[in-house]
Amino acid sequence: MSEGEPIGSRGGEHRKFITRPHHRAFIRPGSPVGRRRAILSAHTLLPSPPIHATKFYSCPSVTHFAYSLPSAAFSLEELSRDDSLVSLCSASCSSLQAAMAAVGMTMSLRSSTTLKGEFCGAAVRQSVAAPKAANVAFAVRAGQYDDELVKTANTIATKGKGILAMDESNATCGKRLESIGLENTEANRQAYRQLLVTTPDLGDYISGAILFEETLYQSTTDGRTMVDCLNANGILPGIKVDKGLVPLTGSNNESWCQGLDGLASRTAAYYKQGARFAKWRTVVSIPNGPSELAVTEAAWGLARYASICQDNGLSPIVEPEILLDGEHGIDRTLEVASKVWSKVFYFLAENNVLFEGILLKPSMVTPGAECKDRATPEQVAEYTLNMLKRRVPPAVPGIMFLSGGQSEVEATLNLNAMNQSPNPWHVSFSYARALQNSVLKTWKGQPENVEAAQKALLVRAKANSLAQLGKYSAEGEAEEAKQGMFVKGYTY
């Protein structure tokens, strides 16, 4: 194969094969200066010709490592001229460890899988006995927003802070308003959202707020944009970008999430308006299966959304919600959640998503809402963390749990239990009802109750901030805050 010859494309983007003595590199043309992800593979381990760059993640038999590469790249020799990068020399190696040593990697390990012993076979044993020159391949992903994506994700994953999810659609927001006797009008939605974003000192406990599209472009009654109010409080604005759930034909009465059409142009416009992260919620139902079709559709949709968001400057929140509906026990939830997250990360890798620039919004591993055997916070923490440690790379900055219909106190207690020992990621919250339920009931749509309602929001935000630090106690909590909010077949 000649130098510069395209060897394949994905999404219209060609990769080129650049060959040098003992080195091979896959470089995306026109890579701008910025953070890069490089995937290292030792071709001496392969009993066949080098695998196509786009197949590194999909081949379960190849050990792969991903690194952050902070500069433009056109050839490995050119990379070596920058002292801040890698120093690469021709080398002989008989194992992947030797290949890593050969390129002098000093960057942080991002992810890895296990090299299957049966794949190595005699080829590796022969290589150990008689070392040969190694081919080292890099698949480099370039993105003009990569540095900003990583900064955004880490800012949201600030110690002691979490996310206020206030991205209810107008229809769902209307249901909330109706629960306190208000009509679903734009003025009433504006008044409630203004109450939330103008809460003094909310930024002490909240690092990000997810908005509905109407709110992103909305202003307060005194003329300030909602975005400016959040920024003034040190809170990053985010945006819900999915278009809701629709029936998935060919499934067991399951759903899929729509919204990929036109997403690139929408996310570009949202970024211009001030949004810096995004959310896409899809669901998996345990009583309805889940079918392989539904799980695959959910995972693939999340991966495509995440890739599109990153290309347009928004750090994506990845949210495959395992619905609480059902009578199943906690072990069944663990089984399904493990399957779903395995498939999600497989497709995230296939779509070249930068793991350091995403956040996760998983369901906690709990029994079904109608299961008679309830779990303690300690059991929920054990099951949930064990599942995540088996599925989520430590490169992901933060895991922001959804409450999913748990009571305000239950959601906080479970989060607190998960922070009793160190975790590989920032483990926090992205709550909607578990932060807002008391606020709505305190406000009641009355202007004179705004200050009291904002204080109620601060109480819940501070409680979950303490839970993120592992220092929360339910002592003194109101009985109302202990009431569950599960709604069977809940949609929003």
Catalytic residues: 319, 361
Q: Is 488 in a helix, a strand, or coil?
A: coil
Q: How far apart are CA 9 and CA 12, in angstroms?
A: 6
Which DSSP state fits 225? B
Distance, C-alpha 111 to centroid of its chain:
15
Q: Is the Cβ–Cβ distance between 274 and 284 less than 8 Å? A: no
> What angle in degrees, to the nearest 10, is found between the helix axes of 433-443 and 450-468?
160
Q: Is 162 in a helix, a strand, or coil?
A: strand
Helices (H) and strands (E) in the chain, counts: 15, 18
Handedness of CA 312, 167, 295, 333 (dihedral sign): positive
Q: What letter represents residue 3's amino acid?
A: E
- Give the Cβ contact number of residue 178 at 10 Å: 11
Q: How far apart are CA 124 and CA 392, in angstroms?
A: 30
Q: Is the Cβ–Cβ distance between 55 and 10 less than 8 Å? A: no
- Give the Cβ contact number of residue 405 at 10 Å: 20
Q: Which two tokens stand for residue 459?
A: 């109480």
CA atoms within 13 A on the CB side of 24: 22
Q: How far apart are CA 331 and CA 284, in angstroms?
A: 16
∠ Cα 57 318 411 (to 5°):
130
Q: How far apart are CA 350 and CA 347, in angstroms?
A: 5
Of 365, 209, 347, 355, nearest to 284 by C-alpha is 365
Q: Is 426 in a helix, a strand, or coil?
A: strand
∠ Cα 201 206 207 (to 5°):
115
- Tell me the chain's radius of gyration from C-alpha atoms: 24
Concatenate the DSSP letters of all residues of 320-386 into one string. EEE---SS--HHHHHHHHHHHHHHHHHHHHHTT--GGG-EE-PPP----TT-SS---HHHHHHHHHH
